[in-house]
Amino acid sequence: MLHVDLDQFIAAVEVLRRPELAGRPVIVGGRGDPAERAVVSTASYEARAFGVGSGMPLRVAARKVPDAVILPVDQEAYLAASETVMATLRAQPGATVQVLGWDEAFVGVATEDPEAYARQLQAAVLERTRLHCSVGIGDTLVRAKVATGFGKPAGVFRLTAANWLEVMGGRPTKELWGVGTKVSARLAKLGITTVSRLAASDPQDLVPEFGPRMGPWYAELGRGDGAGVVDDTPWVARGHSRETTFQQDLTEPAQVDEALRELTSQVLEDVAAEGRPVVGLTLKVRYAPFVTKTHARKIPETFDRADVLARALELGAGIEPGRPIRLLGLRAEMAMPEDARMGHTPTRGGW
């Protein structure tokens, strides 16, 4: 199994369109105006050297790198580039491709020399798109995904059961795919601070903290175990979400009501294209200066726009009165195709 990850993808696409930016710190986010409220979508390696990262407020990034070139997000350009990359991967001999996002995919292949195949794949992507990618090789999807980080930029690295603990054992758990800062902190409360300790843990000891499904799964991640097959089944969206960062905080109930109605309308347009009923809603509220809370609710399956709007407004009733709001987001969960046939509703995914 190979994990292919395009290096600084969005920034790289922008540099291809503007060759004069090569070697300069490039930051992409929002409408390209650091005076507005927006966050960094991606940054070139030159900008990352100054501590700029995805999700950072654009104005903070601009202060860190005063001479950076700040560009607006152009989703259509990135989608077009991504589609060309994925088509290139699918055209490789014997490749089974599982797309993970715009800039990454798993590739399954039977080969005696995976490193050589990875180099061949990199060359094909570079020739077709002029974009560089890194490739991780693994005997599970988890190991392949983690291996890619050691290959960046534009390199190849292999992680298997044979060298997993040698490479990863002493590293903090947050470096695992699927273990972020919050989960890592919860593991630390149990005395588990490194990958090797997580790998050696009894899965049942994690159940009180993480539950009967996630506890054993985190122990499995620590060992690098998991799925060993690339699945090219077309991805089906579980939900659609929209969010808006307001240039001026919302302070009046009428403003919040109008913004929530507009968000609901946008989300319903996305959902309508799927042809599946809504089964859950999640409202995301970010109060000034930067405190985020979510309100979620499962609902009976419905195609009724008025019903969805009414339930979204009900969630909005949970917003704390008098607190300035800088961001609102709404996510609509849909019944999955197999769930619709069996009469089940899916569990709520993350934002």
- Which of the following is catalytic: 14, 46, 104, 333? 104
Torsions phi, psi of 49, nearest 5?
A: -60, -20
Instruction: Answer for the pair 318, 263: CB distance below 8 angstroms, yes or no.
Output: no
Pairing of strands 104-108, 96-101: antiparallel
Which residue carries 């409202």 as its tokens?
283
Contacts of residue 211, defined as CB under 8 A and 6 or more positions apart, other chains included, come to none
Measured CA to CA, the distance from residue 202 to residue 219 in angstroms comes to: 7
By the 8 A CB rule, do 262 and 323 touch?
A: no
Can you say whether residue 344 is alpha, beta or left, with left for phi > 0 and alpha for psi between -120 and 50 degrees? Answer: beta
41's tokens: 């979508």
Question: How far apart, in whole angstroms, are the C-alpha atoms of residue 302 and residue 335?
Answer: 10
Alpha-carbon distance of 296 to 256, in angstroms, equals: 17
Respond yes or no: is residue 104 known to be catalytic: yes
Residues 253-272 as b or e (16 or more Cβ within 10 Å = b): eeebeebbeebbebbbeebe
333 near 280, Cβ under 8 Å? yes
Is the CB of residue 206 less than 8 Å from the CB of residue 117? no
* Cross-strand partners of 293: 285
Residues assigned a catalytic role? 104
